[in-house]
Structure 1
Amino acid sequence: MTTAILAAEEGIQPGVHWTVVIAGLKFNMDTIIMTFVAAAIVTGAGLYMARRATKGRPSGLQIAFEALTSWVQGQVRDGMGLRTPKGVVALAVTSFAFILVANSLAILPIHHYLPPPTADVNLVYAMVLFVIVWVWVAGLRAKGPAKWFGHLAHGGVAMVPIEVITVFGSRPISLALRLWGNIFAGGIMVSIIGLIPWWLNWAPTALWKLFDLGIGVIQALIFTLLTIIYFSDSVGSDDHAEAH
């Protein structure tokens, strides 16, 4: 409670965004700017790596990308068989790269003004909605409506309400809040540490930012792995799933 009061007195307001209203719609400009920054870094790194990709002496970036892609392909193959919905691997790899970069922006000394975009629940909900709808569409295409909706009753008729709540409610909400909560909490901790006198706060700030980087990597992995698991649950390993 004391730290919250001190933070308020210092003008630290976690969750408050720089907003602009256009045609009656409110836009969180800090989130939009940092989202474009993260997307530009991921796109630039991808284009740079693609132009310099080689079998002879791969760069560290190429090795990291190939390792990530190989891991994702293995997870997808284990969950959905050799034939997977089109674009799942690309979605998982891109999601990991974007979330990792977005989370890592927390180390910049501008988080009071331009926090990492994943600290805004609005962006995270949009990302999760995109993934979940893709999961549902892939499942419907792979199994057909009757079989896909039928799996909701695999535990018996009494379990249908619980399955509906899980698939259409708790699963997407938990996926979003897990990512947002960790990144948002990290921003609050840095703000609170900033209340310590400047000649002392550099050490805990540096240590916490290193810890925050580790959390960012873990959250990117969890989001990516859960995305693959949700696709696996929705599609299964049916042979008639569309080839990747």
Structure 2
Amino acid sequence: MSVHVSLSEATPVAAEGGDGGFIAPGPGSFELPPVFEVAGFGVTKPMLLLILSAVLILAFTISASRNAQMVPGRLQFAGETVYGFVRNTLARDNIGSEHFMKFVPYLFSLFMFILVNNYYGIFPFLQFPTMSRIGFVIPLALISWLIYIGAGMWKHGVFGYFKHATMPAGVGGPILILLVPLEFFSNILVRPVTLTLRLFGNMFAGHLLLILFATGGAALLTSGNALYAGVGILSFALGIGVSFLEMLVMFLQAYVFTLLSSMYIGEALADEH
């Protein structure tokens, strides 16, 4: 497992005054310079990775579904496994057997898109999880928000959905004065925010930790002090361990984002809140 971090992301640099110190990575490490410009607009590495992810997902799904056989080959088996996981475990179990197939294409695309963009963080030379940029996460959360709000309005009507989302069944009386605003805030306003922060925060923190272990280890190894060099080797070893942990986190974050999206859709379509 590689913990290489490109020099464009973070490097041990001399502190101001030329004393030769180490500046720890921070949010600035995620502000990468443009790779090239088009009509004065800078195209950055994360933008290119987003485009690459769409190409990779299309290539995988087309290749896995082309010439499908009764006894699947490895690629077809892999495609059917991922699709079946999203279709059965995420969509049908949370939305219900009546309407779940309408949302499988979106949930499958969402899961694959987040998964691929998360795993960029551990591939040498790519090594940047694009979901660590909040500007890429917000649109995904808003799309899920619009879909489950739209699904609820389709099922219950506009006013019927807001009643469904803010007034739990069997509850009445003065308590609704307090309960309705809280339910509106929780079910309508907060959900896209929590979806965004959960995915962004985990990807941002994990990548920042990998940069710290890699650049800190490099600074210690090149310090000229034997004791520091030993600590630098330990830093690289810990970075490798964190890389394996990040592999699990990257999958879980794609899973949780898709799971919550399907649960919100299921709640919007349910007969009772």
Q: Does TM, normalized by the shorter one, top 0.5? A: yes
Q: Which residue of 1 aligns with 2:73?
A: 59
- TM-score, normalised relative to structure 2: 0.74
- Residue 145 of structure 1, aligned match among 132, 139, 158: 158
Q: Is the 8 A contact 1:128 1:172 kept in 2?
A: yes
Question: Residue 8 of structure 1 aligns to a residue in which SS?
Answer: coil
Q: Which residue of 2 aligns with 1:204?
A: 238
- Residue 159 of structure 1, aligned match among 171, 174, 179: 179
Seq. identity, %: 23
Provide the aligned length of Structure 1 versus Structure 2: 231
Note closer, same or farther for the CA distance 1:147–1:28 as it changes in structure 2 (3 Å cut). Answer: farther
**Gaps (5+ residues) in structure 1?**
239-244
After the TM superposition, which residues 80-229 of structure 1 pair with which residues of structure 2 at under 5 Å, given as runs? 80-84=95-99, 87-110=102-125, 115-151=128-164, 152-154=166-168, 155=171, 156-194=176-214, 195-197=216-218, 200=233, 201-229=235-263
Name the stretch that deviates more: 117-126 or 205-214. 205-214
Cα deviation for residue 27 of structure 1 reads 6.5
- Structure 2 distance, partners of 1:7, 1:173, is 35
Note closer, same or farther for the CA distance 1:21–1:79 as it changes in structure 2 (3 Å cut). Answer: same
Name the stretch that deviates more: 27-36 or 165-174. 27-36
Question: Residue 23 of structure 2 aligns to a residue in which SS?
Answer: helix
- Structure 1 distance, partners of 2:103, 2:261, is 9
- Structure 1 distance, partners of 2:26, 2:149, is 43
- Provide the alpha-carbon RMSD of the alignment: 3.0
Q: Is the 8 A contact 2:217 2:236 kept in 1?
A: no
Q: Is the 8 A contact 1:81 1:237 kept in 2?
A: no
One-letter amino acid of the structure 2 residue matched with residue 47 of structure 1: I
Cα deviation for residue 228 of structure 1 reads 0.6
- Structure 2 distance, partners of 1:179, 1:196, is 27
Cα deviation for residue 144 of structure 1 reads 1.0
Q: Which residue of 1 aligns with 2:270?
A: 236
RCO comparison, higher one (Cα < 8 Å, 6+): 1
| CA deviation map 1:144-188 (0-9, x unaligned) | 113211111225342111111112322111111111111111111
- Structure 2 distance, partners of 1:115, 1:15, is 9
- Structure 2 distance, partners of 1:11, 1:221, is 27
- Structure 2 distance, partners of 1:210, 1:124, is 23
One-letter amino acid of the structure 1 residue matched with residue 192 of structure 2: P
- TM-score, normalised relative to structure 1: 0.82
Q: Is the 8 A contact 2:26 2:208 kept in 1?
A: no
**Gaps (5+ residues) in structure 2?**
1-11, 16-20, 222-231
Could you list the structure 1 runs, at least 4 aligned residues long, displaced by more than 4 angstroms after superposition.
Answer: 9-12, 19-24
- Structure 1 distance, partners of 2:75, 2:141, is 27
Note closer, same or farther for the CA distance 1:141–1:220 as it changes in structure 2 (3 Å cut). Answer: same
One-letter amino acid of the structure 2 residue matched with residue 63 of structure 1: F
